[in-house]
Amino acid sequence: GAGVSQSPSNKVTEKGKDVELRCDPISGHTALYWYRQSLGQGLEFLIYFQGNSAPDKSGLPSDRFSAERTGGSVSTLTIQRTQQEDSAVYLCASSLPFIGGVGGYTFGSGTRLTVV
Amino acid sequence: SQQGEEDPQALSIQEGENATMNCSYKTSINNLQWYRQNSGRGLVHLILIRSNEREKHSGRLRVTLDTSKKSSSLLITASRAADTASYFCATDRDSNYQLIWGAGTKLIIKP
């Protein structure tokens, strides 16, 4: 597509439930990133996918968080047993391989997750 | 801790005036980028400056980079109401694809 698409745009869930957030990157972008942004804060890195390489999961805050990327395209971020501190905007971005500073990221509009 | 620190945290100016935001960082970098975020949602890439560059222009935007001071500034000239947004700097370290983000500067342009 023309841009990075994320769904849903808003999600309200009860504490303890599982949620799935979806990201559809720009066609041809081999790199895909998930970030989390709490209110009034900068972005917190969660996970990075590059082509068929093993993802960098170093930013995932706990084992309740997982992500996969099927066929090198669409990615799903799953949060199990949600907690109130998981409430944030989850942003997905894609890019060409980030080599030598070529270009920036293209972000989706994010999913605002509220855990009640 | 955050690599990038924007300054000021908030800035309110009259339409037509110039707006200057600063970003400081702690470790050596390969590139520094500026992004704009409207209404707390998706970010838009504005400009990227490489560590061997000192100044870069894009339309009404001017970015400077001083690696000796580990700082960058973003200047928006002749501001418009549509420039109202939060502005973030993001840095990457050598051979590291992760971007490190500051908490942003909230810019308000008063008509």
Q: Which of A37, A48, A91 is most worth mutating to test chain B (most B CB atoms within 10 A of its CB)?
A: A37
Q: Give the pLDDT band (50/70/90) at residue A60.
A: very high
- Whether residue A43 lies within 8 A of chain B, CB to CB, comes out as yes
| A64-95 pLDDT tens trace | 999 999 887 999 999 999 999 999 999 999 98
Q: CB neighbours of A108 closer than 8 A, spacing ≥ 6?
A: A3, A4, A5, A6, A23, A91, A92, A93, B42
Whole-number pLDDT of residue A100 = 43
| B64-107 pLDDT tens trace | 999 999 999 999 999 999 999 999 999 886 555 678 888 899 99
| B32-56 pLDDT tens trace | 999 999 876 778 999 999 999 999 9
The Cα–Cα gap between B6 and B25 comes to 9
Q: Do B45 and A40 touch (CB under 8 A)?
A: no
Which among A41, A56, A108 has CB closest to B42? A108
Q: Do B42 and A91 touch (CB under 8 A)?
A: yes
What the block records as the tokens of B32 is 């520094």
